[in-house]
A and B are shown apart, each in its own frame.
Chain A
Amino acid sequence: MAPYESDDSTGAAQADDELRAERRRKAARYVVPVAVVGVAAATIGLVPALADSGDPNLPKITAQELINKIAKSDVQQLSGTVKISTDLGLPDLGGLESSLLSGATQGSGDGSSADPSAKLTELASGTHTLRVAADGPEKQKVSLLESGAEYSLIHNGTNVWGYDSKSNEVYHSTVADSGKAERHEPPATPKDFADEILKSVDGTTSVTVDGTAQVAGRDAYRLVIKPKQSGTTVGAISIAVDAKTGTPLKFTLTPSSGGAAVIDAGYTQVSFAEPAASTFEFTPPKGAKVTEGDETGKAGKSGGNGKADGWDKGGKPSEAPDHGSAKGLGKDGFDVLGKGWNSIAVLDSGSKGGLPTGSASGGGDLSGFLGSLGDPVSGKFGKGTVFSTRLINALITDNGKVYVGAVDKAALVKAANAG
């Protein structure tokens, strides 16, 4: 019996071994999918790190030379993709927010979804992909890429077309006087930009060249602009300037409170070749609803303003915001207090009681709601409400004055007390 038993046990052990080997052989096959996952994960993790071959080596340059380079740059033809992220820290109201914003700029608008002022205010929050193309001062195009749709703003000669492919609506206006056309300089045309920069280089600003960077596969210098004054919400502005052409490629504005950039706009792809002529040609598709910007008179005018905003936001990611806004407001007849980065625009809304804190007149629920978004403050000027974003703060006093600026709350109250 014993031998048999031992025979049996060795046989069983052999079978066991075979089974184990078999099982191992089977398990080994699962290594293949696991390896594929591993390789993919490694590729995703490592390729960007490997591609980031460090900052390019470029000859040293001073800030002044770099600014001159920007000013001298005469890039007329350009096309590329711009990614723009804005995080103003506005309360997230979803669709309500954009409708409020467009309502604000559009005023008594005509309601066409192809109206540039209605559309480009979308850029005020979130991340968007834009395509820009320019061929001289007469032909420009900006397209806002949406999921399965696109909004295009085309300037060709005297015509300005807005085309919203989602709703198949067209907005058309004409740029009659050429002086105005000059104002709508192409996106990322360095001239406007350089002007703004040079304006900001005064006693209140420090401008330095902070190394180099790679933007959209091109070597670039980094120009860093920092306000010397305290009290402003602007932390630093960093601009990547193409080393060859002097075109600004990336614009980042970080707030003094830290955290993510308020505005981050940069090319992800750029080419200085001549864009195809067909890019700038537009005929309204059959059946599309066409809104004439000029017919609507006043609304058309406000559309025009919105458009200028759009160019600024979209393509000229470059304008120092406080100067831009201060200048814009100043033009329209508002008072500007302070100078440089601490400029505060003051306007009198005329409505006594300002933005009421509930008790005033019959403002009702809406004002109560708006009031709840701000912080109540008081000072020598009386009482008021401060509305904060990460960049722009506004103080609306109960006697109807509005103080707006890229400054912190204390500076606004101080200005209100003084004025």
Chain B
Amino acid sequence: MSQADVAVAEGAAGVGGAAGTAVRPSPLWTLGLLRSELVTTLRRWRTLALLGVLAAVPILVGISVKIETSGDGQAGRGGGGGPAFISQITNNGLFLVFTALAATLPFFLPMAVGVVAGDAIAGEANAGTLRYLLVAPAGRTRLLLTKYATTMAFCLLATLVVAASALAVGALLFPLGGLTTISGTQISFTEGLGRALLIALVVAASLTGIAALGLFVSTLTNSGIAAMATTVGLLITVQILDQIPQLHALQPYFFSHYWLSFADLMRDPVYWDDLVKNLELQTLYAAVFGSAAWARFTTKDITA
């Protein structure tokens, strides 16, 4: 807490100093702005609660698999249902990382990102702090970029929280060691760990699309709640539409369509086709809704 306070104070000092000496803000100024945004976002109780919920998911999965299999040492026997990789957890705790990400990616992670992104501009407007932010010579574009960067940092942090929590629980409850890829080949534990990290990065990158979408929605309204609800509502709508077979022609353009392609990283050799499509799609969403947010935010009247 006190550390964070110091950070804010430093940030504020940086702002004051830069504004005093130069009209054109220096790049350092942007870093200061980013840092103060990050600290403000991460200090919010709701952010911490979201991260807590995300960290709890792997604990829940790990404990239930442990209880379920304490008798015969077999998970998902015969059925093969549940999130991807769940039947391999008992062999190797590292698989809990993949299972946890597969379980949280369809809903929990994007919901958390939607809350943070939707709140980014509309929340400030709602609290009446947006105009004060704009009084400082930052410029709207710079502020928007900072907000987006903060949201992206949250995407990464949220994913890493899930992965780290899953790794800790997996190491506590299950054996670790060399693992079998889903293609049946063996890789060492170090390589498995490397792939886990890569998967976490891919999952974080998968969220950039909805982050940009949330930011755009956030510039449309002055109500933080409305922006969050719209973003999460869009997420659910798209997830439902993605399940309707008649819409298969449209589905490759839904931002959530290739999300679970991260599992392809566990094949040997890695199957890149869908992974690349996913990253291209996320870039496209980020470009379209990022620029739409910019067009909206730089031209709208700030009344709050």
Please, which residues of chain A bring their CB within 8 A of the CB of B92? Answer: 285-286
Let me know if B284 and A40 touch, CB within 8 A: yes
Q: How far is the CA of A32 from the CA of B183 in the complex (A)?
A: 44
Which one of B75, B84, B88, B186 lies within 8 Å of A278 (CB-CB)? Answer: B186
> B269 contacts which chain A residues (CB < 8 A)?
276
Enumerate chain B residues within 8 angstroms of A147, measured Cβ to Cβ: 84, 260, 263
Does B102 touch A at the CB level, under 8 Å? Answer: yes
Within 8 A of A (CB), among B163-198: 175, 179-180, 182-186
Is the beta-carbon distance between A148 and B263 smaller than 8 angstroms? yes
For residue A278, which residues in chain B have a CB less than 8 angstroms away from its CB?
185-186, 268
Q: Answer whether A33 and B288 are a contact pair too, CB < 8 Å, given A145-B267, A152-B183.
A: yes
Contacting pair B79 A167 (CB below 8 A): yes
Looking at the complex, which one of B179, B260, B292 makes contact with A148 (CB distance below 8 Å)? B260
Q: What 0/1 readout, one digit per residue, does chain A (1-41) give for beta carbons within 8 Å of chain B?
A: 00000000000000000000000011001101100110010
Query: Is B183 a contact of A29 with CB atoms below 8 Å?
Result: no
Q: Which residues of B contact A166 (CB under 8 A)?
A: 76, 80, 87
Contacts of B298 in A (CB 8 A): 29
Residue of A nearest to B300 (CB): A26
The reply on B295 being an interface residue by CB < 8 A is yes
Closest CB-CB distance, A267 to chain B, in whole Å?
A: 13
Contact B185 A36, beta carbon cutoff 8 Å: no
B268-304 residues with Cβ-Cβ distance < 8 A to A are 268-269, 271, 273, 284, 287-289, 291-292, 294-295, 298-299
A33 touches B289 (CB 8 A): yes
A297 at the interface (CB under 8 A from B): no
Q: Is A287 an interface residue (CB 8 A)?
A: yes
| Cβ-defined contact, B87 with A168, below 8 A | yes
Q: Which residues of A contact B289 (CB under 8 A)?
A: 33
Instruction: Count contacts on B: residues with CB < 8 A to the other chain.
Output: 42
CB–CB B260/A167 < 8 A: no
Q: Chain A residues with Cβ under 8 A from B78's Cβ?
A: 111, 113, 167
Q: A113-B78, A168-B88 are in contact. Are A281 and B263 (CB under 8 A)?
A: no
**Bound-state Cα–Cα, A33 to B298, Å:** 14
B271: chain A residues within 8 A (beta carbon): 81, 131, 145
CB distance from B292 to the nearest CB of A (A): 4
What is the CA–CA distance of A281 and B24 in the complex, to the nearest angstrom?
A: 62
Give Cα A111 to B88, complex, Å: 20
Report A269-291 CB contacts with B as 1/0, cut-off 8 Å.
Answer: 00000001011011101111100
Decide: A33 and B80 in contact? CB cutoff 8 A.
Answer: no
Given A32-B291, A147-B263, A287-B90, A26-B184 contact (CB < 8 Å): no
> In whole angstroms, what is the CA distance A145 to B74 when docked?
23
Quick one: closest A residue to B253, CB to CB?
A: A44
Q: How far is the CB of B35 from chain A (nearest CB, A)?
A: 28
> B295 — which chain A residues lie within 8 A by C-beta?
29-30, 32-33
**Docked CA distance A279–B87 (Å):** 22
Determine the distance from Cα of A403 to Cα of B183 in the docked complex, in whole angstroms. 40
Verify if B73 is at the interface (C-beta below 8 Å from A): yes
Decide: A143 and B183 in contact? CB cutoff 8 A: yes
Which single member of A33, A164, A281, A288 contacts B185 (CB below 8 Å)?
A281
B91–A286 CB distance below 8 A: yes
Q: How far is the CA of A161 from the CA of B185 in the complex (A)?
A: 12
Quote the shortest CB–CB distance from B98 to chain A (angstroms).
9
Tell me the bound Cα distance from A276 to B78 in angstroms. Answer: 32
Q: Tell yes or no: B154 within 8 A of A by CB.
A: no
Name the distance in Å between B243's Cβ and chain A's nearest Cβ: 13
Q: Are B292 and A33 in contact (CB under 8 A)?
A: yes
Interface contact A149-B182, CB-CB below 8 Å: yes
Report the minimum CB–CB distance from B217 to chain A (whole Å).
Answer: 14
Interface centre among B180, B182, B288 (most CB of A within 10 A): B182
Q: In angstroms, how far is the closest chain A Cβ from the Cβ of B201? A: 18
Question: Is A163's beta carbon under 8 Å from chain B?
Answer: yes
* Nearest CB on A from B256, distance (A): 13
Name the interface residues of B74-114: CB closer than 8 Å to any CB of A. 74-80, 83-85, 87-88, 90-92, 102
- Roughly how many angstroms separate A148 CA and B182 CA in the complex, as a whole number? 8
Q: Complex: how many Å from CA A41 to CA B299?
A: 26
**A154 in the interface (beta carbon within 8 A):** yes
A279 partner residues in chain B, CB cutoff 8 A: 183, 185, 268
Q: Is the CB of A113 within 8 A of B292?
A: no
Q: Which residue of B lies closest to A31 (CB)?
A: B295
Q: How far is the CA of A189 from the CA of B292 in the complex (A)?
A: 53
Residues of chain B with a CB closer than 8 A to A30's CB: 292, 295
Give the chain B neighbours of A29 by CB distance below 8 A. 294-295, 298-299
Given contacts A148-B84, A164-B80, are A289 and B74 in contact (CB under 8 A)?
A: yes
Q: Tell whether, in the assembled complex, residue B183 and residue A168 are in contact, meaning their CB atoms are under 8 Å apart.
A: no
Residues on B with beta carbons closer than 8 Å to the beta carbon of A77: none
Q: Does A165 contact B (CB under 8 A)?
A: yes
Question: What are the residues of chain A within 8 A of B294 when measuring CB–CB?
Answer: 29, 32
Q: Which of B91, B184, B299 has the most CB of A within 10 A?
A: B184
Inter-chain CA distance A289–B69, complex, in Å, is 13
A151-B242 Cα distance, complex, nearest whole Å: 25
Question: A168 to B292, Cβ gap below 8 A?
Answer: no
Contact check, A165 vs B88: say whether CB atoms are below 8 A apart: yes
Residues of B within 8 A of A285 (CB): 88, 91-92, 179-180
Q: Is A319 located at the chain interface by the 8 A CB criterion?
A: no
Residues of B within 8 A of A145 (CB): 267, 271
Q: Is the CB of A36 within 8 A of B291?
A: yes
Give the distance in Å from the alpha carbon of A25 to the alpha carbon of B294 in the complex.
14
A348 within 8 A of B: no
Contact A287 B291 (CB under 8 A): no
Interchain CA distance A165-B95 in the complex, whole Å? 12
A150: Cβ under 8 A from any B Cβ: yes
Complex: A75 Cα to B92 Cα, angstroms: 38
5 more A-B residue pairs beyond the given contacts A36-B291, A149-B84, with a C-beta to C-beta distance below 8 A: A143-B267, A167-B87, A168-B75, A168-B91, A279-B185
Q: Pull 21 A–B residue pairs with CB atoms less than 8 Å apart, ordered by A.
A: A29-B299, A30-B295, A32-B292, A33-B291, A36-B288, A37-B288, A40-B284, A40-B288, A113-B80, A143-B183, A148-B85, A148-B102, A148-B263, A163-B184, A168-B74, A278-B268, A279-B183, A283-B180, A283-B186, A286-B92, A288-B91
Q: Return the 5 tightest CB-CB contacts between A and B, nearest first.
A: A148-B84, A29-B295, A165-B182, A167-B80, A26-B299
